[in-house]
Amino acid sequence: MTVTGEVIDIKCYTTEMMGGKGEEHKQCAIDCIKGGLPVGILDAKTEKVYVVVPKAGMKGANDELLPFAAKVVKLTGTFAEKSGQKILIYTKVEETK
């Protein structure tokens, strides 16, 4: 599966802290992701939020996706869901133009 959307930090998006998304939230997202809070992607088409984790053996999602905070990326991977929690286990990340 491929999801195109904004890289967000889950806490701020969920609580709408400082807007929780977009350019005005970029520095906060960077700080939260650096601090180890869960990183996610806000699907541009459906507005669904996926917590993202890397495929086994890859660099951690927070380290790899930090440069893309508040930017739109395309993540490719597999989807898992349990008890309503949506997870995207990604294998590839590409910044979109």
**pLDDT, tens digit (0-9, with 9 covering 90-100), for 30-45:** 999 999 999 999 999 9
- pLDDT mean over 72-93: 94
Annotate 18-50 with b (16+ C-beta within 10 A) or e (fewer): eebbeeebeebbeebbeeeebbbbbbeeeeebb
State the pLDDT at residue 20: 87
Q: Are 6 and 72 in contact (CB under 8 A)?
A: yes
Q: Is the pLDDT of residue 85 over 90?
A: no
pLDDT category at 86 given cuts 50, 70, 90 is confident
Domain boundaries, the chain: 2-95
Over residues 78-83, mean pLDDT: 94
